[in-house]
């Protein structure tokens, strides 16, 4: 568990473990946080029409035409944590459809990373779904 660029989150290289912790379907898709645009490009192809939008976006996740949800992290503190891994699956540190509870989140976490910001629930990232020609706001 760590403070991400948006809110407190669980991070792992194993999305199934995150789904199990959050008590949801094991095969449910999970957001991937990446440390750079180069790493993003290794996971998906950005539609030409939206390259600038993706490059400039802050605290925004995109669902790409291959149905992968990715966000490029730009927050310096979270990036410092994420960079050695390159990318990680990420989800909010709360039970599905419930609000953040620090005691529960600490209980189910293997490692808790606390930086100078502490751990606090904040606004989740915006989410847009991209096709080759259209963009649609999801959240």
The SS3 call for residue 63 is: strand
**Which stretches in the chain have pLDDT values below 70?**
none
CA dist., res. 57 & res. 74, Å (int): 9
Q: Check residue 6 and give its pLDDT.
A: 78
DSSP label of 67? S
CA geometry: angle 100, 74, 20, nearest 5 deg: 35
Domains of the chain: 2-137 (3.90.870.10)
- Give the pTM: 0.89
Q: Check residue 16 and give its pLDDT.
A: 95
Q: What is the dihedral of CA 111, 114, 115, 118, to 10 degrees?
A: 150
Q: Check residue 99 and give its pLDDT.
A: 81
The edge-to-edge listing of strands for the beta sheet with 126-130 is: 2-3, 8-12, 87-92, 31-34, 69-72, 60-63, 126-130, 135-137
Q: List, in sequence order, the alpha helices (H) in 2-133.
A: 15-21, 37-43, 51-56, 76-82, 102-108
Q: Check residue 125 and give its pLDDT.
A: 86
């Amino acid at each position: 568990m760590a403070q991400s660029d948006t809110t407190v989150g669980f991070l792992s290289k194993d999305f199934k473990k995150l789904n199990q912790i959050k008590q949801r379907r094991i095969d449910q898709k999970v957001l991937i946080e990446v440390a750079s645009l180069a790493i993003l490009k290794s996971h998906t192809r950005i539609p030409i029409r939206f390259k600038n939008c993706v490059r400039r976006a802050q605290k925004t996740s995109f669902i790409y035409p291959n149905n992968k949800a990715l966000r490029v992290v730009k927050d310096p503190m979270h990036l410092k944590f994420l960079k050695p891994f390159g990318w990680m699956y990420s989800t909010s540190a709360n039970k599905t459809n419930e609000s953040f509870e620090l005691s529960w989140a600490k209980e189910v976490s293997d490692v808790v990373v606390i930086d100078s910001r502490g751990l606090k629930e904040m606004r989740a990232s915006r989410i847009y779904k991209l096709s080759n020609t259209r963009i649609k706001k999801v959240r």
